[in-house]
């Protein structure tokens, strides 16, 4: 994978602004693998993506629902697989089919729990905490 963007942010708002700008590159069909420890800012990144896609809804983490769907210029499918023990759970619910929607963007938290279901051409978004509010965001494709 090749690094296509890297930035240091010093607040949740800056993380959201970066994601909002990044959303302008998306055309549909992209699968974003959001990586980072608990509290790294993955959901803040998705909030920015949503704004960049023209979505006005309040974006929340789908930790208990597994999936939230938002509609704007493109559909944004936000997944959180933190509680998933194996990919079979996701397959039984049919959520894996949304990874291949050409008219949507999929943003997946804890994608390692469903690695065997993911398409080959995903975009990795690594968010690394470097301080209380600072983060390094590395995007690779």
Distance, CA of 8 to CA of 6 (rounded, Å): 7
Q: What's the domain count of the chain? A: 1
The structure's pTM equals: 0.94
What residues make up the domain containing 101? Answer: 3-140
Question: Which element (helix H / strand E) includes 135?
Answer: strand 135-140
Summarised one tens digit per residue, pLDDT across range 59-118 is 998 988 899 999 999 999 999 999 998 899 999 999 999 999 999 999 999 999 999 999
Distance, CA of 58 to CA of 101 (rounded, Å): 22
Task: Give the domain CATH number at 79.
Answer: 3.40.50.300
As to burial, measured by CB atoms within 10 angstroms (0-12 exposed, 13-18 middle, 19+ buried), residue 46 is buried
Summarised one tens digit per residue, pLDDT across range 37-57 is 999 999 999 999 999 999 999
């Amino acid at each position: 994978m090749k690094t296509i963007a890297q930035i240091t942010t010093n607040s949740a708002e800056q993380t959201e602004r970066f994601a909002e700008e990044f959303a302008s590159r998306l055309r549909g069909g992209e699968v974003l693998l959001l990586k980072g420890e608990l509290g790294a800012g993955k959901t803040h990144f998705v909030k920015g993506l949503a704004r960049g896609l023209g979505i006005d809804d309040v974006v929340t983490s789908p930790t208990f629902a597994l999936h939230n769907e938002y509609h704007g210029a493109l559909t944004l499918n936000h997944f959180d697989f933190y509680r998933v023990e194996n990919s079979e759970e996701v397959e039984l619910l049919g959520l894996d089919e949304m990874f291949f929607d050409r008219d949507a963007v999929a943003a997946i938290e804890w994608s390692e729990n469903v690695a065997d279901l993911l398409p080959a051409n995903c975009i990795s978004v690594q968010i690394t905490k470097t301080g209380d509010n600072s983060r390094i965001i590395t995007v690779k494709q």
